[in-house]
């Protein structure tokens, strides 16, 4: 689904042919190059339904998808592909990147994204600067993380986004354990109190 062809990366090209490109004919360079490095020529990727057996974040032919199909991958629902700073590949999420590549992504180093709705490559943001579409209900500019989950928050102490309503709501951050702890699971028995010499936290 999704209407018509769209150009890539901001204003129309001034190099000869200004005919907009469709998802199936992305030119080499910019968004097209990033997609090629991720092993696909299609910018669109759909979150698989329970009965689908989809490998990584490989794009699915949009013509076969219902209008209710959500953009994303098997890990997250989102409308953006992140462009990995390490290799330039446009994968849907960091897990898809790490499963497909021979190295791990540095999520904090990500500077660019590709909108799955209009194919524009651009700086990471919560909404596309070309088509104004929201990339997800939640966006964190620290972790460069998008997700349509209702309850997600960023912990400044863990320096990670986590599932939950937030610190002081259903989680608190234990400075001794150096980890987020649920407020709904009863009293917190801090293991750091009993460890001689302290020790590192988090995981």
Lookup: tokens for 136: 């997800």
pLDDT score, position 192: 54
At 135, is the pLDDT very low, low, confident or very high (cuts 50, 70, 90)? very high
CA distances 49 to 37, 69, 78, 90, 146, Å, are 26, 8, 15, 22, 19
Higher pLDDT, 41 or 22: 41
Q: Which residues have a Cβ under 8 Å from the Cβ of 51 and sit 6 or more positions away?
A: none
Q: 121 pairs with which residues across the strands? A: 114
pTM: 0.66
Nearest one of 152, 133, 11 to 113, comparing CA atoms: 133
Q: Which residues pair with 140 in a beta bridge?
A: 145
- 9-26 average pLDDT score: 35
State the residue for tokens 């990670």. 160
Note the pLDDT of residue 112. Answer: 95
User: If pLDDT is split at 50, 70 and 90, which confidence band does 81 have?
Assistant: very high
Number of H helices, E strands in the chain: 2, 10
Contacts 24+ apart (CB under 8 A), 45-51: 45/71, 45/72, 45/73, 45/81, 45/92, 45/116, 46/70, 46/71, 46/72, 47/71, 47/72, 47/73, 47/74, 47/76, 47/77, 48/74
Element (H, E) at 82: strand 80-83
pLDDT at 119: 94
Model confidence at 179, pLDDT cuts 50, 70, 90, reads confident
Collapsing DSSP to helix, strand or coil, 128 comes out as: coil
**C-alpha span between 203 and 189 (Å, rounded):** 17
Q: pLDDT tens across 145-176, in order?
A: 999 887 888 888 888 888 888 787 878 788 88
């Amino acid at each position: 689904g999704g209407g018509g062809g769209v150009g890539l990366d901001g204003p129309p090209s001034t190099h000869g042919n200004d005919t907009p490109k469709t998802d199936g004919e992305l030119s080499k360079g910019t968004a097209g190059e990033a997609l090629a490095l991720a092993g696909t020529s299609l910018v669109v990727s759909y979150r698989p339904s329970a009965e689908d057996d989809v490998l990584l974040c490989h794009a699915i032919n949009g013509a076969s998808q219902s209008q209710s199909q959500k953009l994303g991958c098997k890990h997250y629902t989102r409308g953006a592909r992140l462009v990995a700073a390490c290799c330039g590949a446009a994968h849907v999420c960091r897990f898809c990147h790490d499963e497909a590549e021979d190295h791990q992504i540095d999520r904090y180093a990500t500077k660019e994204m590709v909108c799955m709705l209009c194919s524009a490559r651009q700086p990471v943001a919560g909404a596309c600067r070309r088509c104004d579409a929201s990339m997800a209900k939640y966006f964190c500019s620290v972790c460069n993380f998008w997700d349509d989950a209702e309850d997600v928050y960023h912990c400044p102490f863990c320096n990670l986004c986590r599932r939950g309503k937030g610190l002081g709501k259903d989680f608190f951050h234990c400075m001794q354990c150096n980890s987020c702890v649920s407020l709904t699971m009863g009293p917190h028995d801090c293991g750091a109190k009993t460890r001689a010499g302290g020790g590192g936290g988090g995981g």
